[in-house]
């Protein structure tokens, strides 16, 4: 039995992993799907204090208080920033690190540094509420921005997506123990369409070492292809 901690991306919440989590739990695995502060069912905690560092603390606290070890730590999209920070700070509890069509930052990089054109396109449609700049504002059919096309999935997402603080996207990641972080085996599950935008050396090395899966679907692949994602995650546990 493996232990998974699945971290969502911008504007989402732990809810987005529901289909994947059900498959993994049915196979006997332990699965945690924390929601980051200010998002999803924790959107009432939104405020000027919410940033990347706080989200790293959110997930680190789950590992600590649940006493989780040899965790398969998974981050989707912006969640790649978060899980990199968590693995850096809690390397002794992380057995494998999985980037699910996610940002793969270096020390000192922000999400804006990694994926500037994509999030810059969303920023003009944001707003400032109580002094907090918010982006990825929910709207009918907003799931299409994440590559979701099924009407049922889009309606499900319409009821759950929440705005995301821009501050999280511009704060640089500060690593404290890169040697320990790099010693953790890293895996990549990506959308076929995003392969060309990724670091070629990183992708080719992962492919050569059997640490790469590409799935031909939209960015929210945990929603559009939950069985393929769950299958890849179970393979990660056996590698």
Helices (H), 105-160: 111-122, 151-158
Q: What pLDDT band is residue 119 in, cutting at 50, 70 and 90?
A: confident
pLDDT at position 146: 96
DSSP character string of 206-220:
HHHTT-EEEESS-S-
Three-state SS at 41: helix
For residue 120, tell me if it sits in a domain: no
Give the single-character DSSP code of 91. G
Produce one character per residue of 124-162: b if its CB has 16 or more CB atoms within 10 Å, e if not.
eebeeeeebbbbbbeeeebbebbbbeeeebbebbeebbb
For residue 139, tell me if it sits in a domain: no
- The parent domain of residue 41 ranges over 3-108+173-238
For residue 161, tell me if it sits in a domain: no
Tens of pLDDT, residue by residue over 122-161, are 899 999 999 999 999 999 999 999 999 999 999 999 999 9
Give the single-character DSSP code of 112. H
Which residues have a Cβ under 8 Å from the Cβ of 159 and sit 6 or more positions away?
A: none
Catalytic residues: 77
Q: What is the CATH number of the domain that holds 10?
A: 3.40.50.1820
Structure tokens at 217: 């679907």
What's the number of domains the chain is made of? Answer: 1
């Amino acid at each position: 039995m493996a232990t998974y901690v699945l971290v969502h991306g911008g504007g989402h919440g732990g809810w987005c992993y529901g289909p994947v989590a059900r498959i993994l739990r049915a196979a006997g695995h332990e699965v945690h799907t924390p929601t980051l502060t200010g998002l999803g069912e924790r959107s009432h905690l939104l405020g000027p204090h919410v940033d990347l560092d706080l989200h790293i603390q959110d997930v680190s606290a789950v590992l600590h208080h649940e006493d989780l070890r040899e965790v398969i730590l998974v981050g989707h999209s912006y969640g790649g920033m978060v899980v990199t920070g968590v693995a850096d700070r809690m390397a002794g509890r992380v057995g494998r690190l999985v980037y699910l069509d996610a940002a793969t930052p270096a020390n000192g990089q922000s999400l804006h540094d990694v994926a500037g054109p994509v999030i810059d396109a969303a920023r003009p449609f944001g707003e400032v509420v109580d002094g907090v700049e918010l982006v990825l504002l929910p709207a009918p059919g907003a799931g299409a921005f994440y590559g979701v096309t099924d009407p049922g999935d889009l309606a499900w997402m319409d009821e759950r997506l929440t705005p995301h603080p821009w501050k999280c996207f511009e704060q640089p990641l500060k690593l404290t123990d890169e040697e320990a972080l790099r010693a953790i085996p890293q895996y990549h599950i990506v959308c076929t369409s995003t392969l060309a935008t990724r670091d070629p050396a990183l992708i080719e090395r992962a492919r050569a070492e059997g640490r790469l899966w590409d799935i031909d679907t939209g960015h929210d692949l945990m929603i559009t292809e939950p069985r393929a994602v769950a299958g890849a995650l179970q393979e990660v546990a056996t590698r």
